Amino acid sequence: MGGESAKSYTLEQILTTALHQQQAIALWRLPLQTEVQACISFAPQKMSAIPALETSPAGFLFCPFVTDGDEPHIFLKADLHYSSHTKQLLPAADAPEALVNSFTAALDQPETRTSAAWPIPVHTDHFKGRNEETFTAAVSLAVDAIRAEAMEKVVLSRINTTPLPSAFSLINAFEKMLQAYPNAFVSLVAIPGIGTWMGASPEILVSVDQQQIFKTVALAGTQPLCEDGSTANAIWRQKEIEEQGMVERYVLSCFKKLRLREYSEVGPRTVIAGNLMHLRTDFKVDLKEVDFPTLGTDMLRLLHPTSAVCGLPKEPALRFILNHEGYNRSYYSGFLGPVNSSDGSYQFVNLRCMQLLQHEAVLYAGAGITGDSSPEKEWQETKHKLQTMLKILSEF
């Protein structure tokens, strides 16, 4: 910082300055942690494939559902990094000095304390939600295809476009998510030319922490949280047990492809995510004991999109989604998270999220369809999942 003693900033100052300066920013808080971190990137990189985590500089990855579709994979190299614990904004050693200086100068300007417009996508005319009839018709078609053995499971999703409350503010919405969802990965990503997304994800896709522990999960099966707020009396139907079992089998098949046998597996257990409960199996590999330095990237590339958001087998399920879902998932059910931060690398599935337009929010939710699915129940399940973000909007 040029010998200057480091100044303290609030998260709001960091966010509004980035928006005013039209710089890309990601804010996040890992599950069960108090520290909020942010990174600002002066030159977001657009990539056509998933980059290697291990050799990457520190930053934040934002990736779409379809790996070879229209939306790019985006890497925000952390030119500036902020921690809510230290309240300091630190530049990376290789960050362009002129841009760092102009950003820090802007931080001290009173105008940057006022709210600013967030980036929205270039085309916003395709956010027409499907109604209950079209969604349930697609579910019925999927059930028929599954019964005809074209696939075992497919995850169908939909959007819900809702006006933003007049008092809506980005920083307040982020803070409300932190409060409401302590065990979720809470994030806000605003990238000029791409858009602004926020969410509270219950699902880790891949993580490698500072102790070199690799983790992933098999998460599926959904029901509303019991009235007493505990998981102790949760009862799961055969349909959910089988649905989660398919995701578990899929994770195991990825380990098998890499010929990795030294993993630990715990579960399935019932876990809470906002107003819902899911079944989750936890997988762990200790990379201090297993010589597999690229496991994080290899598993990320094999796992995504998992059977929790796409289906089983992957290819026919993906084809079914692209042919019948009737809208573009874009970054919903893609993945996002910090890479090589001081905590390690954490990629979460982009679920329980919304994309912000100028005056509207586009909310996304999906449900796993099997041969035993009832279209009406699956519609209800997507309604429950939409509540995660609707609750935040209702607090304004």
Contacting residues toward ligand ISJ, per CB under 6 A = 155, 157, 203, 219-222, 278, 308-309, 351-352, 365-368, 385
Query: If residue 177 lies in a helix (H) or strand (E), which one and from where to where?
Result: helix 170-180
- Tell me how far CA of residue 86 lies from CA of 113, 165, 234, in angstroms: 20, 33, 41
Q: Are 216 and 363 in contact (CB under 8 A)?
A: no
Name which of 204 and 287 has its Cβ closer to ligand ISJ: 204
Shortest CB 261 distance to ligand ISJ, Å:
25
Shortest CB 199 distance to ligand ISJ, Å:
9
Residue nearest to ligand ISJ (CB): 368
Shortest CB 280 distance to ligand ISJ, Å:
9
Could you give the CA distance from residue 243 to residue 259 in angstroms, rounded to a whole number? 25
Name which of 51 and 202 has its Cβ closer to ligand ISJ: 202
Shortest CB 332 distance to ligand ISJ, Å:
7
Name which of 51 and 368 has its Cβ closer to ligand ISJ: 368
Shortest CB 158 distance to ligand ISJ, Å:
9
Name which of 193 and 371 has its Cβ closer to ligand ISJ: 371
Shortest CB 179 distance to ligand ISJ, Å:
20
Name which of 171 and 299 has its Cβ closer to ligand ISJ: 299
Name which of 221 and 344 has its Cβ closer to ligand ISJ: 221
Instruction: Specify which residues 218 forms β-bridges with.
Output: 281
**Single-letter residue type at 179:** Q
DSSP state letter for 358: S
Instruction: Specify which residues 215 forms β-bridges with.
Output: 207, 284
Residue 221: partners with Cβ closer than 8 Å, 6 or more residues away: 236, 240, 241, 243, 244, 268, 278, 279, 368
Only one residue has tokens 């904004």, namely 89
Could you give the CA distance from residue 41 to residue 330 in angstroms, rounded to a whole number? 21
Range 147-152, long-range pairs (CB < 8 A, 24+ positions): 147/371, 150/316, 150/320, 151/311, 151/312, 151/313, 151/316, 151/317, 151/320, 152/246, 152/311, 152/312, 152/313, 152/370, 152/371
Name which of 37 and 281 has its Cβ closer to ligand ISJ: 281
Shortest CB 193 distance to ligand ISJ, Å:
25
